[in-house]
Amino acid sequence: MLRFHVNVDHVATVREARRISQPNPIRWALLAEAAGADGITCHLRQDRRHIQDADVAALRRSISTLLNLESSLAPEMVEIGLASGADEVCLVPEGREEVTTEGGLDVVREAKRLAVVMPRYREKGISVSLFVDPEERALEAAAQLEADFVELHTGRYANAEGDERKRELDRLVRGAERAHELGLRVNAGHGLDYDNVGPICALPHLEELNIGHSIVARALFVGVDAAVREMREIIARNATP
């Protein structure tokens, strides 16, 4: 069955707007678990704009499902990731001026650093995923590095409309098929919401979806439990058996 991880970054975004203790992303994560989330995802950025170091540690202590930590290749972040006790780490590109992650990791350019970092995570029993655009060269490089997963970047699909969205979906289908041929396990995420997630659920060989902002936004109106359950129902209805 297709797994569904809830990203709690933007619960922390609201908290950091006032730099106080509420809303608490750990409590929010526990509510998401109770509503059916298969795992919790968070992105500890170098600028600490939302999730903080203490949040990662508290999530690891508190949740009973999988913890997926998104992180850059910056040396400081690697050391934190290695000590985090996360079940999975997703290595992502990161720019200080971006509002959100804007594209996939350049696996070819970063291959030397990845070849050093990835075995260190594996030694800690942490699965490694690479956040990539659905492009042949990135997928082939990920396979050469023996990544456990690739997470296909769905942002361009999510932002597109009409025929362009159909073309982006076709790119993702081809990317998922190629990743599978190369021996990579396939996840997906970025920009997904209640209206656009359906076709993504049917991507071939897809194992895991990571969704955050849209669920946090929906929860403002209907509560965490209903927001998570609604998304889970959409995923279950559209996922390939």
What positions carry a catalytic annotation?
43, 70, 190
Number of H helices, E strands in the chain: 11, 8
Dig out the tokens for 22 from the structure.
């509420």
Report the C-alpha gap between 168 and 39 in whole angstroms: 27
State the Cα–Cα distance between residues 8 and 13, nearest whole angstrom.
Answer: 9
d(CA 145, CA 153) in angstroms, rounded, equals: 19
- Of 52, 92, 30, residue with least CA distance to 224: 30
The CA distance from 142 to 129, in Å, is 9
CA distance 216 to 238: 21
Helices (H), the chain: 9-18, 25-34, 53-62, 75-83, 111-123, 136-144, 155-159, 162-181, 197-201, 213-222, 224-238
Phi, psi of 239 (to 5 degrees): -70, 145
